[in-house]
């Protein structure tokens, strides 16, 4: 029979995983992301709609385009498709090239629709745009 002696010279067996390197790596990643987050600049478009009050008086030459809270677009009291704004603006611009366009938007009107209407006005050749809000 063989007897095993325990002596101080034998290494102890490891009973677990050393977590120190993983914790160091995790802390380094955390510091890296915190530093990067400080220098990241978010880009966006800040839109400030004009505050209430009565709309400015309408000139005879300007074309009035209204946008209500439900997203309907009106020109001369009739509902039109937002894509038809360009044709109406081009027709008005052909009659009087100095005429502007007044956009009267409800406060609860969809902002995306307002931007689409303004884009159509620009495509129609008019850069003189007046904005007003309705409650």
pLDDT of residue 8: 55
Residue 42, pLDDT > 80, answer no
pTM of the model: 0.54
The C-alpha atoms of residue 81 and residue 90 are separated, in whole angstroms, by 15
Closest Cα partner for 117 from 135, 104, 108, 100?
Answer: 104
In angstroms, the Cα distances linking 99 to 21, 35, 38, 65, 78 are 72, 53, 48, 13, 20
> By the 8 A CB rule, do 104 and 135 touch?
no
Residue 55 is given by DSSP the state P
Residue with token string 């400030």? 48
> How does DSSP assign 63-84, residue by residue?
EEEEE-TTS-EEETTEEE-GGG
pLDDT of residue 31: 94
Where residue 116 falls among pLDDT bands split at 50, 70, 90?
very high
Going from N- to C-terminal start, the domains of the chain cover 63-134
Q: Strands, DSSP E only, in 1-135?
A: 63-67, 73-75, 78-80, 101-106, 129-134
Which residue would you say has higher pLDDT here, 79 or 12?
79
Which fold, 63-134?
Nucleotidyltransferase; domain 5 (3.30.420)
pLDDT of residue 100: 87
Helix (H) or strand (E) holding 114: helix 111-123
């Amino acid at each position: 029979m063989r007897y095993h002696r325990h002596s101080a010279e034998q290494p102890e067996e490891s009973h677990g995983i050393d977590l120190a390197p993983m914790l160091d790596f995790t802390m380094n990643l955390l510091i890296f992301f915190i530093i990067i987050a400080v220098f990241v600049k978010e880009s966006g478009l800040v839109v400030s709609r004009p505050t209430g009050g009565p709309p400015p008086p309408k000139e005879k030459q300007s074309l009035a385009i209204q946008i209500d809270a439900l997203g309907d677009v009106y020109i001369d009291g009739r509902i039109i498709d937002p894509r038809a704004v360009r044709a109406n603006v081009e027709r008005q611009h052909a009659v009087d090239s100095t005429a502007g366009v007044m956009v009267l938007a409800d406060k609860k009107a969809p902002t995306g629709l307002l931007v689409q209407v303004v884009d159509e006005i620009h495509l129609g050749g008019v850069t003189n745009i007046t904005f007003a809000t309705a409650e």
